Amino acid sequence: MLTCSKTYRDIPFAHRQHWHGGHCSLIHGHNWAITLTFACQKSDANGFVVDFGDLKYLNAWIAQNLDHACLFNESDPESEALLAQFGHLFKAYILPNTSCEGLAQHLHGVFNPMVRAQTEDRVWVTKVEVEEDSKNSATYLPD
Ligand SMILES: [Zn+2]
């Protein structure tokens, strides 16, 4: 198996963990980084796992969905009322869990099918690392 990785850095977005007992329950932002590791059994004609120049669709998805967004847990009891009244102030993105771990797992579910489709199933996403800052990160490795 061959792998390569691509990191998207300094992506500003906010989140909150509504069930957390501390300050993580407050809406707050980070400049996130997302590192995707791609894998294949056989490289392309250039010897690449993926051509980094062909990954603009991933950057576009991040720009459209995460950049300057506010992430809410889908079970957040406050998000519906908040967005009903102040939705014009938020670019909301709702997912099962906005933790680094939850986001890494969620992004694998988003990006892996996209990468497989773009490469006709030659390449898959084998690891997603999400960093919320220089100290804290989480990794999702599919089984
Ligand atoms: Zn945070």
The whole-number pLDDT of residue 53 equals 95
- Residue 89 Cα to ligand 1 midpoint, Å, equals 19
The residue range of the domain holding 60 is 2-140
The whole-number pLDDT of residue 118 equals 97
* Mean pLDDT value across residues 104-119: 98
The whole-number pLDDT of residue 104 equals 98
pLDDT tens-place string over residues 115-125: 999 999 999 99
* Domain containing residue 10: CATH number: 3.30.479.10
- Residue 47 Cα to ligand 1 midpoint, Å, equals 38
Mean pLDDT of the chain: 96
DSSP-H helix ranges across the chain: 56-65, 79-86, 100-118
- Residue 16 Cα to ligand 1 midpoint, Å, equals 7
- Residue 57 Cα to ligand 1 midpoint, Å, equals 26
Beta strands in the chain (DSSP E): 2-15, 28-40, 70-73, 92-95, 123-131, 137-140
Quick one: DSSP state of residue 52? G
* Mean pLDDT value across residues 65-69: 98
- Residue 100 Cα to ligand 1 midpoint, Å, equals 8
pLDDT tens-place string over residues 50-62: 999 999 999 999 9
**Rounded to two decimals, what is the model's pTM?**
0.95
Asked whether 104 and 139 are in contact (CB, 8 A), the reply is yes
- Residue 7 Cα to ligand 1 midpoint, Å, equals 19
Q: How confident is the model at residue 5 (pLDDT cuts 50, 70, 90)?
A: very high
* Mean pLDDT value across residues 79-91: 94
- Residue 23 Cα to ligand 1 midpoint, Å, equals 9
* Mean pLDDT value across residues 91-114: 98
* Mean pLDDT value across residues 84-88: 95
- Report how many domains make up the chain: 1
The whole-number pLDDT of residue 71 equals 98
Q: How confident is the model at residue 47 (pLDDT cuts 50, 70, 90)?
A: very high
